Amino acid sequence: MSDVTFDDRSPSPGVSATVGVGAIAVVAAAFAGSAVAVAGAGIVLMAVGVQGGRRSLHTIGGVLCFGGVVLAGALGAAPGVALVGAAASVVAWDVGDHAIGLGGQVGRDARARRNVLEHLGISAGAAASVVVISGLSYALARRGNPGAAAGLIGAAVGLFAILLDW
Amino acid sequence: MSEQSIPAAARHAQPDEEPDPWTEPVPTGLRWTRRWRGVTGLTLLAIGFGLIIEQPGLLLASVFGVAFAAYGRLGAAPSPALEVERAIEVTDPDVGEQIPVTLTVHNDGDGRLRDLRIVDGVPSGLAVASGSPRIATSLPPGESAAVSYELEAARGGHTFDPVVAIVRDASGATERAVEIDAPGTIDCVPSLPAEPPPFPLRPQTTRYTGRTSAAEGGDGVEFHATREYRAGDPLGRIDWKRVARTGDLTTVEYRRERAASVLIVVDARRAAYAAPDPTAATSVDHCVEAARTIAGSLLDDGHSVGLTALSPRPPWLIPGRGVQHRLAIRTALGTHEAFERTPPDRSANVYAAGREIRNRIASDTQVVFVSPMLEEGASQAAHRLDAHGHLTTVVSPDVCVSDTVGQQAAGLARSLRLAGARQRGIPAIDWDPAEPFARALARSQRRWSA
């Protein structure tokens, strides 16, 4: 018999965190206008999806944002920039999805700022680690050791095969 | 508030109603959130694309995706060691009073709970007036987090459900929900009204002196009749003017004033529950409110008052008087399970309940039947009690609305039931809960005395 309606939209810090991190992906996709457009559309959809607690819209936005970075990479963007862009798009999606989950469980009116910021910090830290390791591996491979790159791809595919079982 | 017909409204009050998100139970235990599934699929696509077009940047970005998907598989949500404490500022509030509640959660464990979500077990019968009984936070070991909110008191005894704590691992891939007992109760027992309006009883009284005029002559105030003088009649009761005029000795009799014995029967059957919307007061809430006023009025007038309900879980208070009895009626109307907001799981047999009532009360006890009169069972209960010699008065809160043809039909059927009762000589007080009950009582007495 609650008088205060349960608002299952995401807590407001989730929106700003998503847009803030997603903006990095858009900047990374700036190698080509089409890539920026795709990534930008993705950010807008993600923001609207997080704001309204609509997971499907947010996911489409995340795919577009990642797709924009991939497009920039395909069109010849520097590998390092593409790597950072991909990291930003995944982290933006992750933070937005986390906020949508919070909306469903504790609602928009609950205090959630600390939780969102902590999750953002952890995800950003993990992403930064992956970016650094991947970048170093790539740099090593470019210095005349293509075996490292091949090994990296092999490890990635193997890891993915394991993930599929889950 | 969207108003609905009685049949549709009645369904709102049934147990299969749409769950209230404030009180909906959270599944406990460890589970995968599967939130990283899409990332792995997307990454596979990007890897394939990168291999085809042989772009190192794209390939590298894709490798990041795989690594991050794997990150989502690291670890599992920890088992939280939490201690919760709930401070309820007022545990015996008045109806409508705002009750500040503060829930404090303390991390007794050794590890940091990076993603902790707390949902307080708000009693299903209470409304959250302001704030939120939920919080999402991060809690280092030894630290506490508090959440404050306000509940709006509603009639009844309310027990808090366990607090639900949901913990996720750093990546959010797994979550573990646990329930933590945190006992807490709020008992909202409204007082009987201080100056209740007079309730129009029927002329069925006991042999005890009271304030209801009986249909017999004797001591009293109101003129009843004159009769031939009998030896022993007090001199003050002789009609001396008549003696002077005619020489005959006649004695004046006044209407005796007696106390009545009244049983208030509240219709709290499953079929009697209806509400315009899930958050509104139910018809049984209105019945209880009317019963409270009636009981207060009759007890103040010195009558014996009892209380029961047509319900599979009825309270039983045989008509009586006194401070203790008044308190017992007040408590029963406030917290007895028969008058809960949620309807009973099973229906009550009207005939069996009527038989039990007749068996339990004295033959000179009259009945006040408080019912929304939503279906025939209520009419029959009133008719049968009256027919068995317990003069019955029907008090009916009108919860019908008339937005659609079906709703109008339901309202019309209820009006016909009240008219049918009146045709049988049973007074029926029709009360629109939007107006004070006292006004409905005053209106009904005007009509009867006209």
Contact A68, A37 (CB under 8 A): yes
Q: Please list every residue in chain B whose beta carbon sits closer than 8 Å to the beta carbon of residue A163.
A: 40, 66, 69-70, 73
Q: Which of residues 184-223 of B touch A (CB under 8 A)?
A: none
Query: Distance (Å, rounded) from C-alpha B95 to C-alpha B341?
Result: 14
- Selection from B434, B433, B425, B429 nearest residue B447 by Cα: B429
Q: How far is CA B12 from CA B272, B311, B412, in A?
A: 12, 19, 21
Residue A90 lies in a domain: yes
Task: Please report whether residue A1 resides in a domain.
Answer: no
Domain span at residue A96? 12-165
| Beta-ladder partners of B344 | none
Domains and CATH numbers, chain B: 37-74 (no CATH), 77-188 (2.60.40.10), 192-201+259-449 (3.40.50), 217-258 (no CATH)
Measured between CB atoms, which of B58, B115, B116 is closest to A82? B58
Q: Is residue A131 part of a domain?
A: yes
Question: Does A135 fall in a domain?
Answer: yes
For B:241-260, CB contacts with A below 8 A are none
Cβ contact, residue pair B137, A112, below 8 Å? yes
From first to last of its 450 residues, chain B has per-residue pLDDT tens of 333 333 333 333 344 445 555 555 556 677 777 677 667 777 777 777 777 777 666 666 666 666 766 776 666 778 889 999 999 998 889 888 999 999 999 999 888 898 999 999 998 888 899 999 999 999 999 999 999 999 999 888 899 999 999 998 887 878 888 999 988 999 999 888 888 998 888 876 666 666 666 666 666 666 777 888 888 888 887 888 888 888 888 888 777 667 788 999 999 999 899 887 777 788 999 999 999 999 999 999 888 999 999 999 899 999 998 999 999 999 999 989 899 888 898 888 888 898 999 999 988 899 999 999 998 999 999 999 999 989 999 999 998 888 788 888 889 999 999 999 999 999 999 999 999 999 999 888 775 544
Residue A87 covered by a domain = yes
Structure-token match 């129009």, residue found: B200
A26 CA to chain B: closest CA distance, Å?
14
Q: Is residue A6 part of a domain?
A: no
Determine, yes or no, domain membership for A110.
yes
DSSP label at B78?
Answer: P
Inter-chain touch A156–B62, beta carbons under 8 Å: yes
Q: Hey, of A84, A136, A163, A165, which one would you mutate to test binding to chain B, going by the most B CBs within 10 A of its CB?
A: A163
The answer to whether A110 contacts B134, with C-beta atoms less than 8 Å apart, is: yes
- Among residues 135-194 of chain B, which lie with CB inside 8 Å of chain A? 135-138, 147, 152, 154, 166, 170-172
Question: Which helix (H) or strand (E) element contains residue B404?
Answer: none
Q: Residue A2: inside a domain, yes or no?
A: no
In chain B, residues with a C-beta closer than 8 Å to the C-beta of A110 are: 132, 134-136, 147
Measured in angstroms, the CA of A79 and the nearest CA of chain B are apart by 3
Domain count, chain A: 1
Q: What is the pLDDT of residues A144-156, one digit of tens each?
A: 666 666 676 666 6
Which of B1, B40, B60 is the best mutation test for A, with the most CBs of A within 10 A? B60
The C-alpha atoms of residue B212 and residue B223 are separated, in whole angstroms, by: 14
**Residue recorded with tokens 């299903």:** B124
ipTM summary value: 0.83
